[in-house]
Amino acid sequence: MVNSFADRLTKEWLIKPVVTTSKTEEGEEIEVTIPNIMFVRNRAFLLELAAYNPKGNYDRVRAFGMLMIYR
């Protein structure tokens, strides 16, 4: 039950939109909406997320899920 709760929190966080500002080529600032997953820089974590299934051994995904519960 804890792992499925962590999985749900992880999914919600990864798809949660973040509004940020960006500059166009002309120099004007615009607001853009980007999901949190685009800010993840750890390639190994992203590869584990892509291959994830609940019965496998995915330490990074489990650790991130525990972080989401802690938050």
Q: What is the DSSP string of the chain?
A: -HHHHHHHHHHHHHH-EEEEEEE-TTS-EEEEEEEGGGG---HHHHHHHHH--TTS--HHHHHHHHHHHH-
Segment 22-42, tens digit of pLDDT: 888 888 899 999 999 999 999
Contact predicate 46/64, CB 8 Å: no
Task: Tell me the pTM.
Answer: 0.78
Percent of the chain having pLDDT more than 70? 100
For the cut 90, the answer to whether the pLDDT of residue 54 exceeds it is no
Which of 11-15, 38-42, 55-59 bottoms out in mean pLDDT, i.e. has the lowest?
A: 55-59
For the cut 90, the answer to whether the pLDDT of residue 5 exceeds it is yes
Instruction: Give the confidence band of 57 by pLDDT, cuts at 50, 70, 90.
Output: confident
